[in-house]
Structure 1
Amino acid sequence: MIRVLIADDHALARSGLSAMLGVQPDIEVVGMTADGAEAVADARRLRPDLVLMDIRMPKMDGIEATRRIRGEPDAPAVLVLTTFDLDQYVYEALRAGAGGFLLKDAPPGQLAEAVRTVAGGQALLAPAVTRRLIERFLSVPPGGGAALERLTDREREVLTHVGWGRSNAEIAEALHLSEATVKTHLSRVLTKTGLRDRVAAVVFAYEQGLVRVGEATRRSPG
């Protein structure tokens, strides 16, 4: 059972999200809160598997709440709710440790699947959300850095493909490798760079200049 804490300052939004998740046989809503400070406290008290986090809340916004929650030992995953076109803080939420994003108007099935994905330790990179967010809000500094230089050529290549938003299967096909080998290379990339997860790897690829704004869309398969 996936235990979920909902943090949103709108009562109707909390109720709607709870109703959509409550009908899922493998998801349990263990708490709801209206501000970021309470979300941090409730995450410690309730020990959920995932926090569904709004960005704009009183007392403490969702970015700072995410940073504090993800900084705790055995921290739950965080799935950020965003309106995308209005929120200009999404990139900071990535840096704070969010595992992915969900648009507020997502249908029930997509919401449940996003919860399962992020709670399972995978990044929700899909594609049109995460990539467009990064391309819109990220200013890319010059490439380089000690962490990048610790990577082998193949590891850099895999990281670049991750930055383009490709799945392990797509990377394996493009580089003529097995998926297991791609996973191994990605694991080494995360270890050598100290990155948390795949979302952080995408941000890092942009920051280091391996991927340029707009390039992900042009390079993506299909």
Structure 2
Amino acid sequence: MTSSILLVDDHDIVRQGMAALLSTSGDFTIAGEAADGKAAIAAARDTQPDLIMLDLLMPRMDGVSAIRSLRTVCPAAQVVILTSSEDDELAFAAIEAGAHGFLLKSMSGTELLLAIRRILCDEVVIHPAITQRILKTVRAIRQPEHNPFAPLSERELDILRVLAEGASNARLAETFSISIKTVKSHVSSILAKLHLADRTEAVAFAWRHGLMGDG
């Protein structure tokens, strides 16, 4: 079964190149294309793709501004930033807004296809080149006098830390030597205790409050 992808970039040549790469893999179909955030929202509403891949810097509406609207009009889709920008503030803003991945155009075709497959398996993928920059951002804004993770047990905290690295349920089960059913139970408990809607919000919460710098 193929996954449908909506391509959003203000450069025609980038969209054409991505479409060619994705089409040759045999795993993906192109649901549509758009040249800016506003056009992307309309296209996503009409096509309901499995994944939306968009640039950060575009006319009319940038990628970060479009993410929340895209998640509203197409809630089942994975939203992924693909950009040449390594700006840490924009990267953090994209994850905060609900992006399931932050990828760089400097990646090879093989790396990009692998990242897309991981994201479609419900992992959150952040390019290693910007991970340390995001860490510096969250450390700068964290509030040490308040522990936002207090409701969690030690096991749940450990699971959240690995989850925030983009781990799938299968990887969590392997890491902690527990069943996938138990993993799902832990994740559901974490979401409930922290009043979060989904795994993407959990990842953003962990990064925002500096959990990744505590390990």
Q: Which residue of 2 aligns with 1:58?
A: 59
For residues 52-110 of structure 1, what are the alpha-carbon distances to aligned partners after superposition, in whole Å with 9 as ceiling and x for unaligned? 11000000000111111112363411111122434641111111111012111222222
CA distance in 1 between partners of 2:41 and 2:166 (Å):
33
- Give the deviation of 1:17 after TM superposition: 0.8
Q: Which residue of 2 aligns with 1:7?
A: 8
TM-score, scaled to structure 1: 0.80
TM-score, scaled to structure 2: 0.82
CA distance in 1 between partners of 2:12 and 2:136 (Å):
30
Query: How much identity, in percent, do the aligned residues show?
Result: 34
Q: What pairs up with 1:108-119 in 2 under 5 angstroms?
A: 108-119=109-120
Structure having the larger proportion of residues in helix: 2
Q: Which residue of 1 aligns with 2:178?
A: 178
**The 10-residue stretch of structure 1 (80-89 or 33-42) with the greater mean CA deviation from structure 2:** 80-89
Query: 2:142 touches 2:208 (CA, 8 Å); kept in 1?
Result: yes
Q: Which residue of 1 aligns with 2:132?
A: 132
Measured on the aligned residues, the alpha-carbon RMSD in Å equals 2.7
- Give the deviation of 1:155 after TM superposition: 1.2
Q: Which residue of 2 aligns with 1:80?
A: 81
CA distance in 2 between partners of 1:209 and 1:86 (Å):
19
CA distance in 1 between partners of 2:87 and 2:57 (Å):
11
Counterpart residue type for residue 137 of structure 2: F
Unaligned stretches of 5+ residues in structure 1: none
Indicate the SS of the match to 2:25: coil
For residues 152-194 of structure 1, what are the alpha-carbon distances to aligned partners after superposition, in whole Å with 9 as ceiling and x for unaligned? 232123223444x3746776677x5425344432332123324
CA distance in 2 between partners of 1:7 and 1:40 (Å):
10
**Is 1:205 the equivalent of 2:203?**
no
- Give the deviation of 1:22 after TM superposition: 1.2
